[in-house]
Amino acid sequence: MNILVTGGSGFIGSNLCRRLLDEGHYVLCLDNNYTGRMENIQELLTNDHFSFILADVCDSLKDRPELKTQALHLDQIYNLACPASPPAYQGLHAIETTKTCVLGAINVLELALAHGATVLQASTSEVYGDPLVHPQHEGYRGNVNPNGIRACYDEGKRCAESLFFDYARHLGAKIKVIRIFNTYGPFMDPKDGRVVSNFICQALRGEDLTVYGQGEQTRSFCFVDDLIAGMVAMMNSDPEFLGPVNLGNPQEFTIAQLAQQVLEMIPSGAKLVFKDLPQDDPRCRKPDISLAKSKLGWQPHIKLTEGLQRSIPYFAQRLRDDGVQLKAVF
């Protein structure tokens, strides 16, 4: 098939491109490289089944020469285009994040209609906000602060979901919607700002690990290979099943437990330091994946220890490439 991956040079997108190429598909990767990196897809550029398009989903896509129906027929589109890094969307780029969620969704949906392609929206567990229901199931409508510092991402993704379902109801778009819970693994940016990359890189540099609050808030960490398997399963599921469906690892850890696990695996002499909890930081996050199990036959298999073992060497090499002197050897 001909498959477009928007946000394809980012963390999850580049891992998805590899999986699709391994399956023998022709993959078009579209990204503006705001949070994506060409280094993530460098070795793919020599693959005859892969091509890269430097573009922004906030601009119209269906009229781009590379994406016109006369040039090729797209069978599937994965829409992953959006900053997911808290430093990226909580700072000066908050407005751009909302635009990417909303205008990007419209442009991707219009492109999908033009090609008759099935389009998958990568939504997020952030649509549940600071949840009052635990674990979170797809029927829960969330507890989101609509004007807080995270709202550009949380509400942007909620609006994107609304657009997807309205395009399906009123225009016949062929859609799939997933909600991604905390994911980690190779090709994640060391400066991403999320807790797994923060802890690993701090430990490798010999710095103390920064824990917000008392580290009692919980998260469920899914290794990227498991997530990609769920995404592909959802894309190729029964056309009548639109979602949304949670994709994540239901094994729950406190942030303090994660920090201790990293310190055990990276013996650099670092310790924990505690700082004030950020605004609107969710107290708990755990997916109910009953729907994914029943509809997709999917569940994660890679435990946290194994996933960290497979991630730490990647971060160590990235830091070395950036000229960082590591305190721990990997």
Q: How far is CA 140 from CA 5, 136, 326, in A?
A: 29, 7, 44
Neighbours of 208 (CB within 10 A): 14
State both tokens at 285.
């996050």
Residue with tokens 């107290």: 283
Produce one character per residue of 98-129: b if its CB has 16 or more CB atoms within 10 Å, e if not.
Answer: bbbbbbbbbbbbbbbbebebbbbbbbbbbbbb
State the number of CA atoms in the 13 A half-sphere of 11 facing the CB. Answer: 26
Cis peptide before 186 (omega within 30 of 0): no
Contact 242, 175 (CB under 8 A): yes
Q: Quote the strand ranges of the chain, DSSP E.
A: 2-6, 26-31, 50-54, 76-79, 118-124, 174-180, 183-184, 209-212, 218-220, 222-223, 245-247, 252-254, 272-275
State both tokens at 305.
């220890």
Contact 175, 165 (CB under 8 A): yes
- The yes-or-no answer on residue 153 being catalytic is yes
Contact 174, 121 (CB under 8 A): no
Write down the catalytic residue from 128, 153, 167, 184. 153
d(CA 137, CA 125): 10
Which residues form the catalytic set? 153
